[in-house]
Amino acid sequence: MTKNLRLKAARAKLDMSQHELADAVDVTRQTISAIERGDYNPSIKLCIRICKVLNVTLNDLFWEEN
């Protein structure tokens, strides 16, 4: 799997730590960390919660062209 740097960047843009984002979407810090590292494959509902907290859309963080 491949790292999700767009997620990391969107979080950085709001100056949120992994821990803060995790709390905001109600998962553990390890889950956010694993998603950013590309270590797994979150559910669509979790992706949507993350996007809403970060004020972006699914396409912004998770859509891959080509």
Partner DNA sequence: TTGAAATGTATGATATAGTTTACATAAAGT
Partner DNA sequence: ACTTTATGTAAACTATATCATACATTTCAA
Name the residues that contact DNA, by CB under 7 A. Answer: 17-20, 26-31, 33-37, 40-43, 46
CB of 66 vs a copy of itself, minimal distance in Å: 9
Cβ–Cβ under 8 Å, residues 1 and 32 = no
Whole-Å CA distances, 60 to 19, 43, 50, 54: 21, 16, 11, 10
> In this complex, which beta carbon is closest to a copy of itself, that of residue 15 or of residue 25?
25
- Residue with tokens 């803060």, as numbered in its chain: 20
Q: Which range of residues in 5-13, 14-22, 24-32, 53-61 is near a copy of itself by CB under 8 A?
A: 53-61
